[in-house]
Structure 1
Amino acid sequence: MRGPFFYTLLDIRRWFGWMPPTLASLLILFVLGAFVALISGFIINRVLTRIPGRRSGSLIRTAAVTLRHPAQIAITSTFIIFAIPALDLPVSLAGSLAHLFAVVLVLAFGLGLMKSARIGASSYISHIDASADDREEDILGRKHLTQVRLLQRMAEIIIGVLTIGAALMTFDPVRQYGLSLLASAGAASIIIGFAARSVLTNLIAGAQIAVTQPVRIGDMIAFNGDWTWVEEINSTYVVLRCWDKRRRIVPLSYFLDNPFENWTYNSAELVGAVYLYLDFVAPMDMIRTRLGEIVEACPEWNGKDFSVQVADASERTIMIRITAGARTAVRSWDLRCAIREGIVSWIRLNCPEAFPQTRFSAHASEGDGMAWGYDGPSPMQPRIEGRSGR
């Protein structure tokens, strides 16, 4: 196989005998390399991207489109590396070209591995999305999504570091430096650890979060008094999306070093509370019945958690606490708003005396002076009339 390949290149080389040897060899090399790149791209586009099938065929088509350019670069580099010895090139130039395309081949291979990891993660995530009815309630799906995303990014980092290291190790000075660095690995690790301790801390935190999962993609978290959703978990930081579309960038280590509220850790269901301040004359039986009707009519209610209790009383009002459960935190907010609106409108129309009132009364004391008295119906007018009749 190698013999016919060399002989074919030599025959092509003879066609350009009228040109300077080095220039002719370089021209043949790059023209053939471009031809090989075009042929490989044509095969990928025309053959692999048209493979039928839903699952396996779709995966092959996606991989063909994503890996097209790394595959073209790798095939072309391999062809040029094998073609260089058959052409009439100076030894120094041939060695430099072979080294250059060997580095390009290593980088193309590493890029292909990184994209392959991304394809695998995307395929798994699309399977999760297709099987999930409600992302907020799919705790297991979000758990897998977080693990896959974090493992994908860690794999990309490791592949990138190894690829760059392999490319640099093809240079003799770097290889010798690497061997000497291994001899003093203890001191080097200490220096690197101090220089990149924040990066390493977040990388280790990412591995811990992928395993223990105190926070997942899609979780709702109470962060500094705001409602936030975990929009993205990167290798070193987390993107939190606030209810008003603001984004908060938080280091991964924060979620291991500080307490926080995760409202969707085991379940997306949440019990919300509504507080009403009413007068002592409020008809509680009627209000409790009406609240039950309001909650049952709300589509956000989960059908399980509901209670109405007089939770507190002061010298002027009583405090009513209404609790109702919803399937998600957002639905809980809407449910509480609907309860407030419905019960306030009903009280205003049917028993407005139930709203908090301020009472004032004055009555005559035994010494003909006026005394300011209790917080109830005023007896002031009858007593004044009695005095004026004397």
Structure 2
Amino acid sequence: MQHVPWPLAIVLAAPLVALAAVEIIHRIVVRLGRRSVAMAELASHSHRAFQVFAALLALRIALQATPLWFDFDMKPELLHVMGIGVILAGAWLTATVLLALEDAIEVRYRIDVPDNRQARRVRTQILLLRRVTIAAIVVVTLGLVLMTFPQVRTVGASLLASAGVIGIVAALAAQSVLGNVIAGLQLAFSDAIRLDDVVVVEGEWARVEEITLSHVVLQIWDDRRLILPTSYFTTKPYQNWTRTKAEVLGAVEFDVDWTAPVPPLRDELRRVVEGSDLWDGRVCVLQVTDAVGGLVRLRALVSAGDAPRLWDLRCLVREHLIAWVRDHRPDALPRRRAEVAAAEPAAWRWSPGTEAAAGADAGGEVPDEPVEADRVFGGSDDGQARGTAFAGPEHPEPTLQETVLEEQAALDMIDEDDPVPDPQPRSRRS
């Protein structure tokens, strides 16, 4: 060491001291990570970047602090290069810290659970924030690196006078791009769509697979991909089947003859859905929704826990009801009639339900109260709640002034229609 100048020894020892300090801090963070997810993610993501940043920073500070007699020809250029390295390493360290914090938040919200609406919303926001932060860090880092060159500073100062014109031209040229970026941020924080949401867009039933700042990738049910700009979801209507919850209702419609027995069909629908694990037990209704053109249209309304189960349940209900009509009541199949001679019509009678039909066949009275399976907006707790949600506002109570005016108008009409005048003058009543 006697032949080595002490400033050089300090320059060489500075990064070693910095690495030792980083290792001590890393061990402390690892120990804290046993109780904190954020600390564990920070220790996993930022250790290498922290080492590079600390070593370069310590080396540059030590080299810059050496006395003048230790200067050499390439010292300014070396300091410039090391300064650029410190900026890049600092950007790397900042990005890893932000990513570690985002991952720590993401771990708290799992999407492999049944009720994952909140988790999908948070993960969508984190995904877009991650893209924005990385893009912002890259842009700021490049700007800082360029500003270290004196020539770039001179050019930048000369361009400040025309910055307004350049900004207007750039805004017009990148109008669609900026619109998509703003639309992506709006989707992330407005909670309009989230990752894994089930939507119907452009007539396609799909799942939201990816959301970026410029486009949204939808996975269609047959494994195709539909890619749309993010501005589409802020300017055009679309259906979101999992906006508040995954439970949905689905209808199965089919036409039968006027002689079709509705109560037995309703019982068959109940038997089919109760024997299937696809039904969630909420809604099972069979109604006559139309009766024109010589046919009766029946609609079976069923419910399921999510859209895929609902699709399979609708196919199952359609298959069983068609098979039941074909095998048990072939006379109820759709047909057209042509009257060629006078004949008495077939005797058949409408019954509101199975129990009502049994009572009528036994000679009893048909009750007016419908059964549970023939109402969508009533007959059960779920139906009552649905009816209340879709009911319009009640008629408002008349005000005192409106009541007085109505009574006054009624008295005036009585006075005009009275054929016998009163012998005594009548005082006006209010």
TM-score by length of 2: 0.69
Deviation at residue 287 of structure 1 after TM alignment: 0.6
Q: Is the 8 A contact 1:306 1:322 kept in 2?
A: yes
Letter of the aligned partner of 1:118 in structure 2? L
Residue of structure 2 in register with 1:59 after alignment: 38
145, 151, 160: which is aligned to 1:173?
A: 151
Which residue identity does 1:339 align to in structure 2? V
The question of 1:74 aligning with 2:53 is answered yes
Q: In 1, Cα distance between the equivalents of 2:82 and 2:119?
A: 43
Asked if 1:115 corresponds to 2:93, the answer is: no
SS of aligned partner of 2:101: helix
1:248/1:9 CA distance change after superposition, 3 Å: farther
Task: Give the one of 190, 193, 205 matched to 2:183.
Answer: 205
Identity of aligned residues (%): 33
Alignment equivalent of 1:282, drawn from 242, 248, 260: 260
What is the 5 A alignment of 1:94-243? 94-129=75-110, 133-134=113-114, 137-243=115-221
Q: CA, structure 1 residues 233+280, in 2 after alignment: closer, same or farther (shift >3 Å)?
A: same
Q: Structure 1 stretch 278-287 or stretch 35-44: which is displaced more?
A: 35-44
Cα distance 1:339–1:33, how it changes in 2: closer, same or farther (>3 A)? farther
* CA distance 1:232–1:287, change in 2 (3 Å): same
> Of residues 331, 334, 339 in structure 1, which corresponds to 2:312?
334
Q: For this pair of structures, how many residues does the alignment match?
A: 343
Letter in 2 for 1:59: A
* SS of match in other structure, 2:227: strand
Q: What letter matches 2:42 in structure 1?
A: A
Amino acid at match of 1:104: G
Counterpart CA distance in 1 for 2:158 and 2:266 is 80
Shift of 1:308: 0.9
Contact in 2 for aligned 1:222/1:260 (Cα 8 Å): yes
Q: Is the 8 A contact 1:236 1:252 kept in 2?
A: yes
Pair 1:7–1:194, CA change in 2 (3 A):
farther
Residue type of the partner of 1:147?
Answer: Q
* Cα distance in 2, alignment partners of residues 40 and 355 from structure 1: 85
Deviation at 1:44, TM superposition (A): 7.7
Compared CA separation, residues 96 and 329, structure 1 to 2 (3 A) = same
> Residues 291 and 201 (structure 1 numbering): CA distance in 2 closer, same or farther, change over 3 Å?
same
In structure 2, relative to structure 1, the CA distance for the partners of 1:357 and 1:37 (3 Å cut) is: farther
Aligned partner letter, 2:220: C
- The structure-2 alpha-carbon separation of the partners of 1:160 and 1:9, relative to structure 1 and needing over 3 Å to count, comes to farther
Q: Pairwise mapping of residues 41-56 of structure 1 onto structure 2 (< 5 A)?
A: 47=27, 50-51=30-31, 54-56=34-36
Deviation of residue 319 (structure 1)? 1.7
Q: Please, which of 320, 334, 351 is the counterpart of residue 329 of structure 2?
A: 351
Partner Cα separation in structure 2 for residue 54 and residue 41 of structure 1? 19
Q: TM-score, normalised by structure 1?
A: 0.76
Q: Secondary structure at the match of 1:67?
A: helix
CA contact (8 A) 1:44 1:64 kept: no
Corresponding residue number in structure 2 for 1:368 = none
Change (3 A) 1:84 1:119: same
Shift, 1:247, TM fit: 2.1
The 3-state SS of whatever aligns with 2:213 is coil
- 1:106-138 superposed Cα distances (whole Å, 9 cap, x missing partner): 1111122222222222211221117x732xx43
Higher helix share goes to which structure? 1
The one-letter code of the counterpart of 1:237 is H
Q: Is 1:255 the equivalent of 2:236?
A: no
Residues 193, 240 of structure 2: 8 Å contact kept = yes
Q: Residues 201, 315 of structure 1: CA spacing in aligned structure 2 closer, same or farther, 3 A cutoff?
A: closer
Q: Is the 8 A contact 2:128 2:211 kept in 1?
A: yes
CA distance in 1, matches of 2:304, 2:170: 50
Q: What's the CA shift for 1:272?
A: 0.6
Is contact 1:48–1:64 with CA below 8 Å preserved after alignment? no
Shift of 1:34: 8.6
> Unpaired runs of 5+ in structure 2?
347-430
